A = this chain, B = another copy of it.
């Protein structure tokens, strides 16, 4: 399955890499695609729990703004 979230606070490729690593750490095997200009983060995995994504994003210091 694939879900897309809005994550605020990412301002460069380093930020995007940080969010990507945090999500993969929380959801092993996930494929994470990030579009910086729109702040969209797409997660593809067998199961994607919004709460797990929110925790990973917030623990990494960024702002989880829900699914889109």
Name A residues whose Cβ lies closer than 8 Å to a Cβ of B.
9-15, 17-22, 25, 59-62
CB nearest neighbor in B for A22: B61
Residues of B within 8 A of A61 (CB): 17-22, 25, 60
Residues of B within 8 A of A59 (CB): 22, 25, 59-60
Main secondary structure of the interface of A (DSSP, over half): helix
- The docked-state distance in angstroms from the alpha carbon of A61 to that of B41 is 15
Contact B9 A17 (CB under 8 A): yes
Residues of B within 8 A of A15 (CB): 12, 14-15, 18
A sample of 17 cross-chain residue pairs with beta-carbon separation below 8 angstroms, ordered by A number, consists of A9-B14, A9-B18, A11-B12, A11-B14, A12-B12, A12-B14, A14-B15, A15-B15, A15-B18, A17-B61, A18-B18, A18-B62, A20-B61, A25-B59, A59-B59, A60-B60, A60-B61
